[in-house]
Amino acid sequence: MKFFVDTADAPQIRAAMEMGLADGVTTNPTLVSKTGRGFKETLAEICEIVKPGPVSAEVLGLEADQMIDEARRLSDIAENIVIKIPMTSDGMKAVRTLEEEGIRTNVTLVFSANQGLLACKAGASFISPFIGRLDDIGHNGMGLVAELLEIIENYGFDTQVIVASIRHPQHVKEAALLGAHIATVPFAVLEKLFKHTLTDAGIKSFLADWEKVPDKTF
């Protein structure tokens, strides 16, 4: 399973790259706004850091023509830009046009298997089911991921599933067990994946025993 980092923070992305845990990045207007920097310069830097890994950038228009125009301009920033398109009928029109032009798309805000099927039919490179938001309203987010993976397998679609809206390490584990192609993970959750009380206890015990060694030369 590939890991994308769900952030626009360049230092966090670099740190994830150094750990070998960043195969790509997903951003949105909220994440970019938190950086306090310009939109284009932020995306350009991120694309350079993770190159050739994909970097998802979101359009703001709601009509197909607006999305297509924005997507073309965004794709000029770097070769590894992927365009986030909302799951709407106009969005699917944009997806079809952009994919035919060789511009990869990531259909976002997917909350049902039918929506995911439509995105696959439109030719999307990626689809992003928002599992955390489904869990928040009492639905089974990971159940949706399983359905989407089965649909893709049934019909041989080239679309990859990006498990999005990840809230905690359990989501990451469940995505991996289901065979999801990608999980896009906030940096704070990525750091938690390393943690286990027995690991911490083991390190503490080893260091304590090391202090008992009379000659520590090696």
Please spell the DSSP secondary structure of 109-171, one letter per residue: EE-SHHHHHHHHHHT-SEEEEBHHHHHHTT--HHHHHHHHHHHHHHHT---EEEEBS--SHHH
**Type of residue numbered 155:** Y
Q: Which two tokens stand for residue 6?
A: 């769900």
Active-site residue, selected from the candidate residues 34, 51, 84, 93: 84
Cα angle 186, 144, 142 (rounded to 5 degrees) comes to: 50
- Is 84 considered catalytic here? yes
Cα angle 16, 22, 26 (rounded to 5 degrees) comes to: 110
Alpha helices in the chain (DSSP H): 10-18, 29-33, 39-50, 64-75, 89-100, 113-122, 131-136, 141-155, 169-178, 187-192, 197-210
Q: How far is CA 107 from CA 94, 122, 163, 195, in A?
A: 10, 10, 12, 32
Beta partners for residue 211, in sequence order: none
Catalytic residues: 84
